[in-house]
Structure 1
Amino acid sequence: LGRGVPPPNNNTLRWCTRQIKVDPMTAAISETLGDGTALVITGVRQGESAIRDRRIEMSCSKDGAECGQGWYQQLLPESKGVRGRIATLAPLLHWRVCHVWEWLRNWAPKEEFGGWPTEIVADAYGGDEAEEINARTGCVGCPLAQEEKALEAILTMARWQWLTPLRGLKPIYRELRERSRRLRKSGAEKLKDGSLAANPQRMGPLTIEARTWALGEILRIQTECNAERPQHIPALSLIDAEEESRIRELIAANTWPDGWDGTEPTADRFLPITVYQNGAEQHDLFGLEESA
């Protein structure tokens, strides 16, 4: 919200996995790895998504592993600082949803297995109906997910109904992808080497007004949840005080992503000239007639 980067989408701007998961993990491993190698254990399972299943099928015989032994392959092979020095092991590859739920609900909380407070995660998988619900835990309100199965499973339980306002997050994120909430390049862009950018007149960052609106809405949802929160449960934090302060500071400073300055038109405005990838321009005939 501070810099105006719009929510991710599946087609052209899925930045969240890399920036929130992959890059921080790569940096942390690079700092501690030294000159050695590392094995990363993941919770990847078959059946979570069709795309992931295809990726597993392509990898199941890699690095000497055989089908049925668990997914084992090189991870982050092109990442700076750890290239070729990290491998992954997925021991839960063939677990069903019911197995995951059984572990989270009955075994992981026991002291002998670590005493992990995983009951809420188990609830998100759907309890006794976990296999039928087939929920996946992830970012609440993710605009890339069609259904909010995990959140809806949680909200059916009386002790978690104070989280009901979280249903309002997805509409906010999807609204921020609308043309009226974003800027757009009005013409062709030239790269440093002088060539034309492949996507002329592309949509870009959020307007200042959209950022301010979204910040207020998310903070409102946070306040509404905490107002109904049982006293023995820690406060919900979507945006903490430090983050809010930084976001407001960036908005006040009129901060924009590289290559944008805020003078661009909003993406819902009509552009009289259409620019194509080869630099060709098509003028609006009606506009030309009116100006002739």
Structure 2
Amino acid sequence: MTARDLSLFETGARLQMSESIDLTIQSLLAYGPEHDHWVVAWSGGKDSSATLTLLTWLIDSGKVPAPQRLTVLYADTRQELPPLAVAAQEIMECLTERNIAHRTVRAPLEQRFLPYILGRGVPPPNNNTLRWCTRQIKVDPMTAAIAEVLGDGTALVITGVRQGESAIRDRRIEMSCSKDGAECGQGWYQQALPESKGVRGRIATLAPLLHWRVCHVWEWLRYWAPKQEFGEWPTEIIADAYGGDEAEEINARTGCIACPLAQEEKALQAVLAMPRWAWLEPLTGLKAVYRELRAPRSRIRKSGAERLKDGSIAKNPQRMGPITLEARSAALEQILAIQAECNRLRPLAMPEFSILDAEEEACIRRLIAANTWPEKWDGTEPRADQFLPITVYSNGAEQHDMFGLEE
């Protein structure tokens, strides 16, 4: 077997940048003409930004025929690292100059990350039992936006999914990449998103950078895309969010600022190491705020007396639940103080930074004042760090505290 015979993902054969671009062109030529409307699902991260800017250049240069309609949807979680947020804003300005239709997609106000936690009292997400954030603040809003721009028609949704970015994602791709006859080298093409409510059967998806090596993503963002001949895109700033000149070596993955799901804040620490972004140092205090909101002293719990409609005992009858009103109010003030300190240190050339804008802050205060709780909770439950004299098990058995029994 020669090097040319090896598949894209076998060791030995290493794609060159020009080959990666050629394969992307092939995938777009193979599947693009089947769809009049292309929708770019753009998160603002490195892979989706490379996809968006490359696609635009390929169309402008005539290497790929333009679709009848092109729409760019930016998923704004309101929790992005500042360099990514700044880059996204500048890229959208470039899209406007090019007369490319685009819109910002956000979750409904009360469903956004901090309003949901501080206003409704839902604890910060974790990797075990309560990972609600990605779907709620990114996937569901994007799905709804795609359904809206589709109207009564169909579309090809273009994503920045790339092999090697996530082990879990890679396994999913390996199980489905041959769907509809597509090979990995042609992009991950699927004719439907089975879990997408409202768009089922009306969209196909294509990941034209699926085969790109991470070094090619960085090469495009740093050196190719910023050049006038490739579109003069402001993409160097994206490398800041991943570690600047060391981005490829660090290979940090970004998520929310001080993401509660991350063990290490590699991306944030990489940003803080650069003088341009050192003023964001107060953001390191967010981790402690989220940890406190998950602590028993900040939450309420079921007493064990609750029964289901059929009279049976709940699976976890004394489970911990929402955040107390007092803990929510305290966390709100702490987060606003962190935001204020960042802006106090912020260079004048930088735009004002907000973790919470005025609308979100007002929403949180309104929900707290209205004594708002998640479904099946009303705030009368005991605090989670309060001693309960009776332990109730899921089979209905009760264990009384021998020292607390009445004689």
Offset at residue 89 of structure 1 (A): 1.6
What is the root-mean-square deviation in Å for CA atoms of aligned residues? 2.1
Q: What amino acid sits opposite 1:64 in the alignment?
A: G
Asked whether 1:244 is paired with 2:361, we answer yes
Contact between 1:40 and 1:88, CA under 8 Å: does it hold in 2?
Answer: yes
Q: What amino acid sits opposite 2:349 in the alignment?
A: H
Contact between 2:242 and 2:267, CA under 8 Å: does it hold in 1?
Answer: yes
* Counterpart in the other structure of 1:19: 136
Asked whether 1:10 is paired with 2:145, we answer no
Looking at structure 1, the residues matched to 217 and 253 of structure 2 have their Cα atoms a distance apart, in angstroms, of 11
Offset at residue 157 of structure 1 (A): 1.1
* Counterpart in the other structure of 1:253: 370
* Counterpart in the other structure of 2:157: 40
Looking at structure 2, the residues matched to 37 and 238 of structure 1 have their Cα atoms a distance apart, in angstroms, of 36
Asked whether 1:218 is paired with 2:335, we answer yes
Q: 1:187 aligns with which of 304, 307, 331?
A: 304
Looking at structure 1, the residues matched to 287 and 332 of structure 2 have their Cα atoms a distance apart, in angstroms, of 14
Looking at structure 2, the residues matched to 74 and 267 of structure 1 have their Cα atoms a distance apart, in angstroms, of 48
**Correspondences of 1:115-154 after superposition (within 5 Å):** 115-154=232-271
Offset at residue 114 of structure 1 (A): 4.6
* Counterpart in the other structure of 2:28: none
* Counterpart in the other structure of 1:275: 392
* Counterpart in the other structure of 2:217: 100
Q: What amino acid sits opposite 1:73 in the alignment?
A: Q
Asked whether 1:63 is paired with 2:180, we answer yes
Asked whether 1:171 is paired with 2:288, we answer yes
Looking at structure 2, the residues matched to 13 and 76 of structure 1 have their Cα atoms a distance apart, in angstroms, of 24
Contact between 1:72 and 1:90, CA under 8 Å: does it hold in 2?
Answer: yes
Looking at structure 2, the residues matched to 195 and 65 of structure 1 have their Cα atoms a distance apart, in angstroms, of 50
Looking at structure 2, the residues matched to 116 and 192 of structure 1 have their Cα atoms a distance apart, in angstroms, of 58
Q: Deviations over 1:75-103 (max 9, x none)?
A: 64133212233332222223233222222
Q: 1:285 to 1:83 in 2, by over 3 A?
A: farther
Asked whether 1:262 is paired with 2:379, we answer yes
Offset at residue 226 of structure 1 (A): 0.7
Contact between 1:188 and 1:197, CA under 8 Å: does it hold in 2?
Answer: no
Q: What amino acid sits opposite 1:16 in the alignment?
A: C
Q: 1:37 to 1:230 in 2, by over 3 A?
A: same
Tell me the SS of whatever aligns to 1:285: coil
Q: 1:285 to 1:64 in 2, by over 3 A?
A: farther
* Stretch deviating more after TM superposition (170-179 or 209-218): 170-179
Contact between 1:188 and 1:279, CA under 8 Å: does it hold in 2?
Answer: no
Contact between 2:191 and 2:204, CA under 8 Å: does it hold in 1?
Answer: yes
Q: Deviations over 1:228-253 (max 9, x none)?
A: 11112110011111211121111122
Q: Deviations over 1:91-149 (max 9, x none)?
A: 22232332222222223334554544333321122233223211112211001011111
Looking at structure 2, the residues matched to 251 and 2 of structure 1 have their Cα atoms a distance apart, in angstroms, of 6
Contact between 2:257 and 2:268, CA under 8 Å: does it hold in 1?
Answer: yes
Q: Deviations over 1:228-280 (max 9, x none)?
A: 11112110011111211121111122111111111111212222222222333
* Counterpart in the other structure of 2:202: 85
Q: What amino acid sits opposite 1:181 in the alignment?
A: S
Contact between 1:2 and 1:250, CA under 8 Å: does it hold in 2?
Answer: yes
Q: Deviations over 1:28-68 (max 9, x none)?
A: 12222233322222222233333222222222222322244
Percent sequence identity over matched residues?
A: 81
Structure 2's unaligned 5+ residue stretches are: 1-117
Offset at residue 209 of structure 1 (A): 1.1
Offset at residue 16 of structure 1 (A): 0.6
Looking at structure 1, the residues matched to 201 and 319 of structure 2 have their Cα atoms a distance apart, in angstroms, of 36
TM-score, normalising length: structure 2 = 0.66
Q: 1:54 aligns with which of 166, 171, 175?
A: 171
- Give the count of matched residue pairs: 290
Q: 1:181 to 1:128 in 2, by over 3 A?
A: same
Contact between 1:97 and 1:130, CA under 8 Å: does it hold in 2?
Answer: no
Structure 1's unaligned 5+ residue stretches are: none
TM-score, normalising length: structure 1 = 0.90
Contact between 2:184 and 2:211, CA under 8 Å: does it hold in 1?
Answer: no
Contact between 1:183 and 1:266, CA under 8 Å: does it hold in 2?
Answer: yes
